[in-house]
Amino acid sequence: MTDPDRRLTARIARDHGLTEQALAKAVREQKRKPKGDRMAVGE
């Protein structure tokens, strides 16, 4: 993960009240799902 990505992840985590670790876990789980399910993430 590059530095800008890490900073962005941290900012998103703060915005959503999550720890960076929890957000990273959620991202990994999302990547394992079928491609169609990924669309719901932004909602």
- Read off the tokens for 13: 């985590």
Write down the pLDDT at residue 43: 46
Give the C-alpha separation, 8 to 16, whole Å.
Answer: 12
Say if residue 7's pLDDT is above 80. yes
**Is 41 a residue whose pLDDT tops 60?**
no
**pLDDT surpasses 50 at 1:** yes
Average pLDDT over residues 6-30: 76
Task: For the chain, give the percent of residues with pLDDT over 70.
Answer: 60
* Residues 9 and 23: beta-carbon distance below 8 Å: yes
Domain ranges of the chain: 3-42
